[in-house]
Amino acid sequence: MLWFRLTRVCTCLTPFLLLLCSNAAATEHPIAHDGDRATLEAFKAAIVRRSGALASWNSSTSYCSWEGVTCGGHRHPWRVVSLRLDFQGLDGTISPAIGNLTFLRSLNLSYNSLQGEIPPSVGSLRRLQYLNLQSNLLIGAIPSNISRCASLRVMRLADNNGLTGSIPTEIGDMPLLRILYIANSSITGAIPLSLGNLSRLTVLALTNNYLEGSIPASIGNMVQLRILELYSNSLSGLLPSSLYNMSSLNELYVANNSLHGSLPDDLGTSLPSIQRLDMASNHFTGAVPSSIANLSSLQIFEIAKNKFRGVFPPVASLQYLQWFDIDLNEFETKDEKEWEFLTSLANCSRLQLLSIAWNRFTGKLPNSLANMSSNLRELRMFENGMVGDIPFGIGNLVGLETVDIIYNLLSGVIPESIGALTKLNRLFLENNNLSAELDASFNSLDGPIPSSIGNLGELLVLALSTNKLTGVIPKEIKNLSSLSIFLDLSYNLLEGPLPTEIGSLVQLENLAVSGNQLSGEIPHEISNCIVLEMIAMNGIKGLIQLYLSSNKLTGSIPGDLGNIGSLQELYLAHNNLSGPIPKLLGSSTSLLILDLSFNNLQGEVPTEGVFKNLTGLSITGNHELCGGIPQLHLPKCPNPTARKNDKTVSMPLRIAGVTIGAILVLISGLALALFLYRRYKAGMKKEQLPSHFTEIDIPIVSYNEILKGTDGFSEANLLGKGRYGTVYKSTIENQGVVAVKVFDLQQSGSYKSFQAECDALRRVRHRCLLKIMTCCSSINHQGQDFRALVFEFMPNGSLESWIHSSTETQNGDKTLTLAQRLDIAVDIVDALDYLHNSCQPSVIHCDLKLGNILLTEDMRARVGDFGIARILSEAASGPSANPSSTVRIRGSIGYIPPGNSSTLPVCFS
């Protein structure tokens, strides 16, 4: 009986006992694992800026509910298993206490501004499977004991430029590792042989570092590897044969190294899964094997800038091919059969880029070019020796956006079908023998420019110079409303007047029509081209140079040319212009060079402005001019009121005076020509440097020094891009760390930007202006002009990055104090006051904006980028100067210099 009662009591109490036990356990966990809370608080304490997720980290809530923190596990529900704080704008260091989160399986701190070293305590995270620290500011070496994270599957440390040292060999002891990213850093040394032990690795990315030596053959042991990225290092030697036997490999990138050797004959069978193959910019030689046709999955084939040679094999079976680039090699063709590879590419229906430039392709360009994929967007075939016509069927390639066939021997007419290429925005056909092209310069094209050219509504560049084009400029040119960069019709056999339809090209920046047989008057409608810089007329804003020499232009010189406030150089020589010289040309405060020689101009020569400067004025060959400054030695102009009563001067004396005057003008012209010739010859003996730098003692840096200092203009050293160039961080001997502005000379106006910046910087010296250290005016390894300026390095970047980031919560990692803002404002005012009031002559920046204000290490402002600066002449700074002649709407898109939009001192950027 007693036993029965005890049994009933126990049965009834069991639920209560279990409940008490569970409550006890529940209260025990947080007490037992307060270490995780303490670790998270230590992590937070090491963060300087705690915006975003860390704002929720406070003592009033459970740490397991903090943003970015995940607790879990069946047996340990109060232990932290995941910490995800990517894109939170964190600024500070990673606390060594992070190693105490021993149950952590995932750690993601990517895309922040974390500094300092990776703490070695990370090696204590034995359960860690995912580690992502990429895109921070971490420095130092990768800790070798990170290999103790034996469960790690993914390690992403890329985009930390301060990571140095070598890749720890111990990483090879992480058998479960599948993805390893250590790209875009400063890692040195060789690729460890031990990485070959990572048999489960699928992605290995070591791109854009300073790795040296050869690629280890042990990489071939990575039987599951799909992506191998090793480009932009200093690797040398041969590609190991084991690499060609990786049947799982989908993508291989080894470009921009110093690798050499040749491709194996069985390439097409040894890499059956390859989709992207990039071997550009190395020293590979030999022929491309015919087995390449077996790479049936190939999408990208990039082998440009090597020394491959021979005949390229047919590739008809590459149905997925999208990118085919074999530029700058030594491939050749001599007959139709050797062009078979191009014909076979017509079967590649997905092809978007076809680039075979800078090779030795000769012979007739096959008509099969017209059978290429309608998806083809870029066609680059320049710098070869191709002959024949442009295939009529090229109009079938309706997807084309860029066609570049310059420097060949093509001939014939430009096919009418080219008008069907409505997406075309760049057409280069110069230096051929074509007759009616879009960009056919330096060919032998002939015949008229087809009227169907008007159908190319997306065209940005039309370059047809140095051919044998005949006929008139078609009126359909008015339909090229998008034409903005360049219209070059120079040095052909074009006739007739410059059509009034030119005025419809309101976005055109550069127009070249010299060296033709144009006749008639200059159309006033050209004044509608309000952004024209190189050639324009009548009230054009922004025009700097106007070249119309050596044509058959007639009529008078439009007086409105003098109202172009920015016009500095005007060339109208060797035409049939008549009438008086407009006095408005003498009123121009910007005009520096005026060449009116060898026309039929009559009347009085003005005495103001450019007409006072003998070195910038040429009026030789106009025998009916008179007056002007005494140094011109022209005959005096007759007084109109006294002419009727002037009976005292005999005809012989008048003839003698005119004769003597003509002789003096001729002597003056010859002297001027001799002076200019000697100055030109003297300039040819010097390196092509701006004259500004010959006036001051600045050590000139070479192209090779800049190339080396920027690591081949690596993306890792990219600081920013602008309209006229790109700025890189560089290290130059005897200069240290500097900023190098490399000018894009293909961009319209870049030469003028370089000259303007040189001219401005040689005139100014002030602590609040960006200091120029040296310059480079040379040629690159492709024989092209190269221009660069070297400035002091500004470690804190531009004011724009601070102002904008301070208003963006997700990336709010930069904040300016009130004192710093005041200092910066004072520095900017000091710089502008110096430029406007202390420089002789004054300098107007024309593009002052946040991006052009740089910050020193101690957060003081430096005003830079004088690419479109305006040097005001003394006349322009006088009290009687016409403001419209010196102030123009210039600068960046979206920016209006103060005073141009209104009289209020407000600017927008």
In this structure, which amino acid lies at residue 617?
Answer: L
Q: What residues form DSSP beta bridges with 337? A: none
Sign of CA dihedral 331, 337, 343, 348: negative
Contact 512, 532 (CB under 8 A): no
Question: In a 3-state reduction of DSSP, which class is residue 121?
Answer: helix
Q: How many Cβ atoms sit within 10 Å of the Cβ of residue 532?
A: 27
How long a stretch of residues is the chain? Answer: 909
Amino acid (1-letter code) at residue 354: L
> Using alpha carbons only, what angle is made at residue 280 by residues 274 and 286, rounded to the nearest 5 degrees?
85
Which region holds residue 178: left if phi is over 0, alpha if psi is between -120 and 50, else beta?
alpha
Half-sphere exposure of 279 (CA within 13 A, CB side): 20
Task: Output b/e per residue, 351-388; b: 16+ Cβ within 10 A.
Answer: bbbbbbbbbebbbebbebbbbbbeebbbbbbbbbebbe
Count CB neighbours of 286 within 10 A: 15
Owner of token pair 């056919």: 440
Token pair listed for 905: 């001192």
Asked if omega into 841 is within 30° of 0 (cis), the reply is yes
- The phi-psi region of residue 328 (left if phi > 0; otherwise alpha if psi is between -120 and 50; otherwise beta) is left
- Residue ranges with strand state E in 250-294: 251-253, 258-261, 276-278, 283-286
**Cβ(189)–Cβ(165) below 8 Å:** yes
- The owner of tokens 């094999």 is 313
Q: What is the DSSP string of 481-498?
A: TT--SEEE--SS--EEPP
Name the amino acid, one letter, at 738. V
**Coil, strand, or helix at residue 461?**
strand
For residue 83, which of 138, 132, 139 has the smallest C-alpha distance?
A: 132
Q: Is 741 annotated as a binding residue?
A: yes
How many other C-beta atoms are found inside a 10 Å radius of the C-beta of residue 626? 16
Q: Which tokens hold the place of 815?
A: 């904040």
Residue at 443: amino acid letter: N
Q: Hey, what are 83's tokens?
A: 């910490």
CA–CA dist 623, 765 (Å, integer)? 48
Per the DSSP assignment, residues forming a β-bridge with 140 are 163
Tell me phi and psi for residue 126, to 5 degrees.
-65, -25
Give phi and psi for 455, each to the nearest 5. Answer: -80, -10
335, 357 Cβ separation under 8 angstroms: no
Q: What is the rounded CA–CA span in Å between residue 503 and residue 832? A: 38
The one-character DSSP state at 88 is: S
Q: Based on the residue annotation, tell me whether 847 is a catalytic residue of this protein.
A: yes
The closest alpha carbon to 118, from 135, 143, 151, belongs to: 143
Q: Which helix (H) or strand (E) holds 751?
A: helix 750-763
Q: Residues 159, 404, 847, 865: which is the catalytic one?
A: 847
Q: How many CB atoms lie within 10 A of CB 679?
A: 11
Cα atoms in the 13 Å half-sphere on the side-chain side of 899: 10
Per-residue DSSP letters for 802-833?
A: HHHHTT-GGG------HHHHHHHHHHHHHHHH
**Can you tell me the distance from the alpha carbon of 344 to that of 360, in angstroms, rounded to the nearest whole number?**
19
Spatial distance between the Cα atoms of 396 and 414, rounded to a whole number of angstroms: 14
Query: Within 13 A of 413's CA, how many CA atoms are on the CB side?
Result: 14
Q: Give the active site residues.
A: 847
Q: Residue ranges for the binding site for ATP?
A: 741
